[in-house]
Structure 1
Amino acid sequence: MSPDPASPPGTAPAGGALPEDGRAAAGLLDELDRLRGADLPVRGGQVTAYVYDTGRDAVHDLAAAAYLRMLEVNCLDPTAFPSIVALERQVVGAVAERLGGGPGTPGIFSSGGTESIMLAVKAARDARPVDGRPEIVVPVTAHPAFHKAAHYLGMDVVAVPVDDAFRAVPAAAAAAITSRTVLVVASAPSYPQGVMDPVEEIAAAAASAGVPCHVDACVGGWVLPWLRDLGRPVPPFDLSVPGVTSLSCDLHKYGYAPKGASVVLFADEALRRHAYFASAAWPGYTVINAGVQSSKSAGPLGAAWATLNALGARGYRDLAATAMAAADRLAAGAAAIPGLRVLGEPAVPLVAVTSDDPALDVFVISDEARARGWYFQPQLSYRGIPANLHFTLTGVSDVGALLEALEDAAKAARAAGPPDVPADLVDALAALDLDDLDDAGFAGLLSAVGVDLTTGAGDPEMAMVNTILDALPPATREDLLIRFLSVLYSGRA
């Protein structure tokens, strides 16, 4: 490849092609800093989703150092790198001890909740062969990772309703079990509203039908045990519950480890073996994988191990107490703002806030908060659950400042009013044949509703887009979001 004559020596040519000569380290790091300038901040608590911050710099620095120590260790072959076996045994054992297991409880360290769920679903499918396409029974509030796992693994999802408190209905789960059901799911808690499903009843229904039961504790699994230690009412939810056969728990959430770090536990070794994959049908090296990935860095494993040991039980109890106190205060404060109310009774530091006032739009509140330096995560309506804003509270959440921002954003949103969506736009989008529209054409469509992807910068005004999506059926939402992602990464805007 000939060098780009318009690029000075040691700089990146236009279009992202490699420079002819390597670039200096300082310049590369400076460019990373520049690119991150539009990112949401990962520290400080003003982003109420996606990131988890202890506020303890020494713990973060240790995790980063441990990550680097293990960066080039390849988890592909545990016989070549026995350190990964020792670290994984310790991490899985520590999680199992707090979640109804013991030193011998089998588990797998994975890259995140989606992979942990994928492994649990695969294990259940392979452990229980059925005639026809296997099915999994999930509450409508279950994480989309179950739908993703079913999509990848050739299975069907049977979604069952929740009650007025957003808790799964055990009778509905039991009634949905058929001869093709291979797994029944409960959440502890569900992400959208932070409420606990009745795990004991759902697991009992699954067990009586001879079907495995998975508890998705990805978001709450590493905060619930510490809240229980602190005297908070925590209903039984883990491997100690009869009928629970697997459980997922993310350590990069309330374990405060760097991403990606998760653990999936199994009630017995036979079920864990069904999560594994092996292939000898080729002439190359032996392939045996505990997870979905083959080659992967041991950096996240080392960082998770270091974080767990650095914080210890006392550290996690302190962080859980602080985060839950913040959630309680936010729930009370949000309910006192005219037009707003909290959905359900959060069992963990997750709070969902909706508006009962047609003049106060939650999507506009989200945009107004973003303009004030805060990120409040919008959640679309679904099966009678209204559109709302999701808040994840952590050890650094400044609830006073958060409530002030929420109240200011609500006042501004009330003054601005809901987005003015053209009457025929939703119908037109619902009828749109996306197969006849290339990425450039779709980018033009986005521009028409106020979304400009040409700069790649943050702080988009998304109220109009979210309002439109909220009015569309879920399948249409999915098609549009896939096209949005394609445009975003292709640079066709």
Structure 2
Amino acid sequence: MLPENGRSADDLLAEIAQLKQHDLPVRGGKVTAYVYDTGRPEVGDAAARAYFEMLEVNTLDPTAFPSAVAMERQVVGAVAGLLGGGPATPGIFTSGGTESIMLAVKAARDSRPVAGRPRMVVPVTAHPAFHKAAHYLGLEVAPVPVDPATFRVVPEAVAEAITPDTVLVVVSAPSYPQGVIDPVAEVAALAAARGVLCHVDACVGGWLLPWLARAGAQVPPFDLSVPGVTSISCDLHKFGYAPKGASVVLFADPALRRAAYFASAAWPGYTVINATVQSSKSAGPLGGAWATLRALGQDGYLALARDTLAATRRLAEGIAAIPGLRVLGTPESSLVAFAGDDVDVFVLADEARRRGWFLQPQLSYAGIPANLHITVTGVTLAGVDALLEVIAVSAEAARAAGPAQVPEGLAELLEGLDLDSIDDATFAELAASVGVDLRAEGQPRMAVVNAVLDALPARTREAILIRFLSVIYG
């Protein structure tokens, strides 16, 4: 509710602190998803000050605020220099990976008109942002399988899925679920042979992989230097360690970037030309990204990459040594996923959260078992032994507790339920009947929720998740 009278900044900040009391911590490395921590407070401070300095600059009109244009050129140029492009490589600074992917899909659709409904070939491990882009932009998604042992997309399956209406083929470097790099060179070559564009989703790895290579890791070719790669996305708010709202999408040529733009002159108002999905937007994230890149520099990123590489190897080896746990695939970046043979990983996650650590649950799909995901960042190395200890203790506690108990018949009930026929209050009551209070304060225990979702087909999961969100914000 809007207060009757204005309040002081100190008063407002005190209330924010109260509101945040149940939030996961964004620093320290105990949250292994969503946040990226360098462990260097001075870098975050520089980014925050630059973010604030550019906060009220509106990038809607590039002629009004040339500072934003200069910053974007420098940031895009830095990314291009790292990802196989030259100083003239065209790119766009966006609000995040989803928007970068949205623009890459739009560019492919608009630059390659087809007679039927445009299609894109997407591995089952590709980020859901591609499905979101297809939903918004009217494309059809052709999902293709990955190898069950390596979790990399199967090139032969990609080739079989390409049709005359295919405008884009997607590969990941790495794919988020298991942290492995798809065979980019092979897929890009077969796409080029068919006259189809190829996008590399390097939102997670784009900024990190080149530094890992310099730190001694074996990184296969994946960027714009690979023949057939026509666009690539790279999030700077991940391993660039910039504040949220910072990503770049690069294109192999200016014509393809122009196809990502939007212009409208069919009204009597101001000139509308947008490089991104958003029109008015703050240059704060751009300023934060610009400052972060300069605050760390090449030596800073290389040092963070060395720590990240060491932590990832130590973590993967340590998890593999814990009875009942196994690492999925061979991590090639800094993403580690592990499943449990006699341990319910959803219960393990709850046990770890109870001990102050957040491990990200991933549901089973396309033959890939339910698992837990860890994003290793620059600060992880200092706490990797503590993390392994928590995983081991939590695994033992989960084994003793047994798997999460899904009430008999609940999955079948939910699958057959007409969710459109019940309101949010009734849905909240249904959740409460199985011990899930969607409006409770604090950090929830999620094992039963995840077990229920894991027992449902993807479309039912999606419908349930939408209702969860509606109730939480209701």
User: Which TM-score applies when normalising by structure 2?
Assistant: 0.99
**Residue among 312, 335, 352 paired with 2:337:** 352
In 2, Cα distance between equivalents of 1:453 and 1:429: 17
**Residue among 296, 310, 314 paired with 2:281:** 296
Q: Deviations over 1:128-185 (max 9, x none)?
A: 0011211010100000000000000011100000002100011110110001100000
In 1, Cα distance between equivalents of 2:368 and 2:311: 24
Q: What does 1:68-147 align with in structure 2 at a 5 Å threshold?
A: 68-147=52-131
Q: Deviations over 1:414-443 (max 9, x none)?
A: 111001212211111110100111000000
**2:288 maps to 1:308:** no
Q: Is the 8 A contact 2:56 2:284 kept in 1?
A: yes
The answer for the alignment partner of 1:236 in structure 2 is 221
**Residue among 317, 320, 327 paired with 1:342:** 327
**2:153 maps to 1:188:** no
**2:460 maps to 1:483:** no
In 1, Cα distance between equivalents of 2:434 and 2:211: 46
**2:377 maps to 1:394:** yes
How much does 1:458 deviate?
2.9
Which runs of 5 or more structure 2 residues have no equivalent in the other structure?
Answer: none
**Residue among 138, 144, 163 paired with 1:178:** 163
Amino acid of the residue matched to residue 145 of structure 1?
A: A
The answer for the alignment partner of 1:367 in structure 2 is 350
Q: What does 1:260-299 align with in structure 2 at a 5 Å threshold?
A: 260-299=245-284
**2:37 maps to 1:64:** no
How much does 1:78 deviate?
0.3
The answer for the alignment partner of 1:249 in structure 2 is 234
Secondary structure in 1 aligned to 2:473?
helix
The answer for the alignment partner of 2:183 in structure 1 is 198
The answer for the alignment partner of 2:361 in structure 1 is 378
How much does 1:232 deviate?
1.3
Amino acid of the residue matched to residue 361 of structure 1?
A: D
How much does 1:231 deviate?
2.3
Stretches of 4+ aligned residues off by more than 2 angstroms? none
Secondary structure in 2 aligned to 1:167?
coil
**2:388 maps to 1:403:** yes
Amino acid of the residue matched to residue 370 of structure 1?
A: R
The answer for the alignment partner of 2:30 in structure 1 is 46
Q: Is the 8 A contact 2:171 2:201 kept in 1?
A: yes
RMSD: 0.7
In 2, Cα distance between equivalents of 1:100 and 1:290: 22
Q: Is the 8 A contact 1:136 1:181 kept in 2?
A: yes
The answer for the alignment partner of 1:9 in structure 2 is none
User: Greater shift after overlay, 41-50 or 18-27?
Assistant: 18-27
Amino acid of the residue matched to residue 5 of structure 2?
A: D
Q: Is the 8 A contact 2:217 2:309 kept in 1?
A: no
Q: Is the 8 A contact 1:222 1:249 kept in 2?
A: yes
The answer for the alignment partner of 2:198 in structure 1 is 213
Amino acid of the residue matched to residue 328 of structure 1?
A: R
Amino acid of the residue matched to residue 158 of structure 2?
A: A
In 1, Cα distance between equivalents of 2:127 and 2:372: 17
Q: Is the 8 A contact 1:450 1:461 kept in 2?
A: no
Report % sequence identity: 72
Q: Is the 8 A contact 1:138 1:184 kept in 2?
A: yes
How much does 1:310 deviate?
1.1
The answer for the alignment partner of 2:139 in structure 1 is 155
